[in-house]
Amino acid sequence: MLLTSDAKVLRRLRRRFLFDSLAAELGPLASHTNRDMQPSPPRRFFCDFNRLVETDTYDLNTVGSRADVAKASITPMAGLAITVYDADKGAVGEPLWLVAEATVVNLPSSVLGAQVNTLSWRHELRTTPTHDA
């Protein structure tokens, strides 16, 4: 004769065995598959690099920045990692983007700014129109 606690343990083991065998048949849960994962929203915002507020920090309160914020599916808040860009020209005049990685910060004037990681400055080929064109 099984004790009450032994019977409970056996029931749990049977349920667990049934669940494990059913899970093996069905495969991974839909919420754990890559096909259900949405691509991360674009975090690329225009930044006029002529609007330096303090060392390595730029004002994001421009028409181009606001246009990119309106297009993004996220609201930039302090601490958010973003990529900032501005129009530039290469050595022979070819159109380029000047790009850098940055973190959104609150500026004293209650607007958002971008604190740029100085090691991340780079150029990218410009294939899309600029905000000033």
- Whether the pLDDT of residue 106 is over 50: the answer is yes
Task: Note the pLDDT tens digit of each residue in 83-98.
Answer: 999 999 988 989 999 9
- Whether the pLDDT of residue 33 is over 50: the answer is no
| pTM given for the model | 0.64
Cα 92-98-102 angle, rounded to 5 deg: 165
Instruction: Tell me the pLDDT of the chain averaged across its residues.
Output: 78
Residue 114 backbone dihedrals phi, psi, to 5 degrees: -120, 120
DSSP-assigned letter for residue 39: P
84 vs 64: CA distance, rounded Å: 11
Residue 98: the pLDDT is 94
Q: Could you tell me the maximum CA-CA distance found in the chain, to the nearest angstrom?
A: 91
Query: Could you give the 3-state DSSP secondary structure of residue 52?
Result: strand
- The confidence band for 132, taking pLDDT boundaries of 50, 70 and 90, is very low
22 vs 94: CA distance, rounded Å: 60
49 vs 46: CA distance, rounded Å: 9
Q: Supply 82's token pair.
A: 């973003």
4 vs 101: CA distance, rounded Å: 62
Residue 76: the pLDDT is 86
Residue 133: the pLDDT is 42
Amino acid at 21: S
